Structure 1
Amino acid sequence: MSGERPFDYLFDPDARNEYLRRNKAVVCALSASYISTFAGYPLDSIKSRLQTTRTPITISKLALLVYREEGLIGFYRGIWIPLMTISFVRAASFTIYTRTKEYFRDHNMLMRNNILHVASTGGISGALSGSLISLFSAPFELVKVRRQLEYSIAASKGVRIVKAPNTLNAVRDIFRTNGLLGLYTGFRLHFVRDTLGTSLYFLEYDGLRYLMGRDQLGEQGATPPWLPLPESLIPFMCGSLAGVSSWALIYPLDVVKTKVQQRALAGEPKRGVLETLRRLIRGPDPNSPRPLLKGLTRLYRGLGVSALRSVTTHGLLWTIFDLTAGYIDQLPPSKRTS
């Protein structure tokens, strides 16, 4: 419209409503992501430490140790990375996911109202979203891991940290040690993890929402008689289950990725993925291998706190996403005429 200023939506309620409707997926993703990320980050930080510690330790003891050595800030070390990048990563991820599903709908592909088609469109959309977003998110996650593991990386180098470097210094250290490509350390594992994990996540979420009464077009119907949940709890339940189960399936891959990145950041000799996995399960001495069951337990160290983080993060994510979407859907229609 001629004469309209770029930021009219900040002051004009009618323009603001139109802006929210046009950018619904982005607005919902942003509002949900910031809150859920902040709520779940301390658990993510503990998860990374549990994955890389050489000696078994309980979650409570590790949390106490972090608090004693680093204070409350230790649980939020590196949070600015996901908070700064979440605006792009989550918004882009949900946009790709929703646009891909719209493409299937517009071309009448996989549009039968059954769980196979619903879950398949979610899984394919999630795989495309995860693979594309990993190209941009990999450097930021590497820096996040670097910040979370500052003390363990320093200990492996025989250095005692008096004051942990800030995020900018962490980026400089990675760049100085490994060059620009150093920011993509462990990228192949990151790519596979995000593609597979995001595909499983959206496949399960859309499948669960279908079982709970939402059809292929996104309209929520009555919940099934075998689980008559209030409608407001459905997003939290489906998001939590999808987050926990998909994360549990790819968790070993995330452990290997974190270990590979930790060794690279500490300047230790490189190991292949299979060798890293073997040593995690069977131990460093091939002549005296660790019992298989004990090794698998080592591989899943931190899964409990990671599951709790997934329940918190993904339950809140979809709850706030749906609440925001419902708010936007109920906005009054525009009074402007074309």
Structure 2
Amino acid sequence: MDATKPTNPPRGTAAFNEALRRNKAVVCALSASYISTFAGYPLDSLKSRLQTMKTPITVPTLASIVYREEGVVGFYRGLWIPLVTISFVRAASFTIYTETKDHFRANDYLNRNSVLDAALVGGIGGAMSGSLISFGSAPFELVKVRRQLEFTIAASKGVHLVKPPGTAAAVKEMFKTNGIRGLYTGFRLHFLRDTLGTGLYFFEYDGMRHLLGRERNGEQGSTPSWLPIHSSLVPFVCGSLSGVTSWALIYPLDVVKTKVQQRALAGERGRGVWETLHRLIRGPDPAAPKPLLAGCARIYRGLGVSAVRSITTHGLLWTFFDLVANWIDRLPPLPEDG
């Protein structure tokens, strides 16, 4: 036997490796999303609570209240919803995003080696992804909001909730009250938020990756002299910054969406988007409006914890996405017959 000849993997293993390569975007998105979602979910739960509270409260105080009244499970209430739907949302989202970029590249659209072209292609792919995925993700996010705000919704109804209903019971009640339309409460706001937010997110991410040395073939080159960091940190930096800044820009829209959904779930009178936004900023009494600065501060309540969540989830998401992608690229190829 020739000792210098490389040993090929078993054909079954090689075929599995080939399947991983064909579905690389899906495999990378799923594995990275599970880790990042679990790490950032407690912060997402606190963010939803902060958005709907009428009086300001610090994050540590709110966290202590949640822990005292609901225990550790209170931070992870409704966790299984994003974990289950992540298999659909992340896989479909990254597939649409990468297919859109491949289509532009194959047809030589916006294919110059410039930061603007890289950002525009990413933004278009992200907007396509966000708009299409919102039709499937809206009901699941509504249920997640319902589970996170069980105690707040019960209090608005004058009910003292000792033990919140399970997810299945919550879905059954929502469907019984308003039918299938009830699962799409606040959908227009959800659609607008996801289209704008996802488009802006990928616009920023791909633009920053280009600035930090990613080549046109997708390989990471050397980082620029003005940011001499290790190349392994580039995905975390770009993911964190794009996640925080894009989320900050659409955060008021998310606050209005959550408030509209909370009122609908509590059976309260519905309000329009502009009325909801105006009341959040200026208060419920037209004769004694709140100061504009204080109202804007309320709109951005919870942004701090949301920013930490974005840094955690999006930084980890792209770090593990690139790690898994590089691992798949290094897998041995399918051996030739002979």
TM-score with structure 1 length normalisation? 0.96
Matches within 5 A, 1:14-29: 14-29=14-29
- Give runs of ≥4 in structure 1 deviating > 2 Å: none
Contact 1:32 1:317 in 2 (8 A): yes
Partner of 2:44: 44
Task: Give the distance between the partners of 2:156 and 2:143, measured in 1 at CA.
Answer: 18
Partner of 1:122: 122
- Displacement after TM superposition at 1:337 (Å): 3.7
Identity fraction in percent: 72
Once structures 1 and 2 are overlaid, which stretch shifts more, 170-179 or 43-52?
170-179
Task: Give the distance between the partners of 2:292 and 2:262, measured in 1 at CA.
Answer: 24
Contact 1:112 1:216 in 2 (8 A): no
Partner of 1:246: 246
Letter in structure 2 aligned against 1:75: F
Partner of 2:111: 111
SS of the residue corresponding to residue 333 of structure 1 reads: coil
Partner of 2:277: 277
Over residues 78-107 of structure 1, what are the superposed CA-to-partner deviations in whole Å (9 max), with x where a residue is unaligned? 001000000110000000000000000000
- Displacement after TM superposition at 1:229 (Å): 0.7
Q: Where in structure 1 are there 5+ consecutive unaligned residues?
A: 1-9
Task: Give the distance between the partners of 1:336 and 1:15, measured in 2 at CA.
Answer: 12
- Displacement after TM superposition at 1:336 (Å): 4.3
Letter in structure 2 aligned against 1:287: A
Task: Give the distance between the partners of 1:182 and 1:278, measured in 2 at CA.
Answer: 25
Over residues 273-317 of structure 1, what are the superposed CA-to-partner deviations in whole Å (9 max), with x where a residue is unaligned? 000000000000011000000000000000000000000000000
SS of the residue corresponding to residue 12 of structure 1 reads: helix
Over residues 193-216 of structure 1, what are the superposed CA-to-partner deviations in whole Å (9 max), with x where a residue is unaligned? 000000000000000000100123
Letter in structure 2 aligned against 1:80: W
Task: Give the distance between the partners of 1:159 and 1:68, measured in 2 at CA.
Answer: 19
Partner of 1:139: 139
SS of the residue corresponding to residue 164 of structure 1 reads: coil
Task: Give the distance between the partners of 1:62 and 1:222, measured in 2 at CA.
Answer: 43
Over residues 130-154 of structure 1, what are the superposed CA-to-partner deviations in whole Å (9 max), with x where a residue is unaligned? 0000000000000000000000000
Task: Give the distance between the partners of 2:26 and 2:166, measured in 1 at CA.
Answer: 30
Over residues 134-192 of structure 1, what are the superposed CA-to-partner deviations in whole Å (9 max), with x where a residue is unaligned? 00000000000000000000000001111111110110111111111000000000000
Contact 1:260 1:271 in 2 (8 A): yes
SS of the residue corresponding to residue 179 of structure 1 reads: helix
SS of the residue corresponding to residue 289 of structure 2 reads: coil
Partner of 2:182: 182
Letter in structure 2 aligned against 1:151: F
Task: Give the distance between the partners of 2:56 and 2:336, measured in 1 at CA.
Answer: 64
Contact 2:11 2:334 in 1 (8 A): no
SS of the residue corresponding to residue 110 of structure 2 reads: coil
Task: Give the distance between the partners of 2:336 and 2:21, measured in 1 at CA.
Answer: 14
Matches within 5 A, 1:311-326: 311-326=311-326
Task: Give the distance between the partners of 1:12 and 1:334, measured in 2 at CA.
Answer: 9
Q: Where in structure 2 are there 5+ consecutive unaligned residues?
A: 1-9
Task: Give the distance between the partners of 1:174 and 1:11, measured in 2 at CA.
Answer: 51
Mapped pair 1:255 → 2:255: yes
TM-score with structure 2 length normalisation? 0.96
SS of the residue corresponding to residue 112 of structure 1 reads: coil
Matches within 5 A, 1:1-338: 12-337=12-337
- Displacement after TM superposition at 1:11 (Å): 9.6
SS of the residue corresponding to residue 197 of structure 1 reads: helix
Over residues 48-102 of structure 1, what are the superposed CA-to-partner deviations in whole Å (9 max), with x where a residue is unaligned? 0000011110000000000000000000000010000001100000000000000
Contact 2:110 2:117 in 1 (8 A): yes
* 182 and 232 in structure 1: CA distance in 2 versus 1, 3 angstrom threshold: same
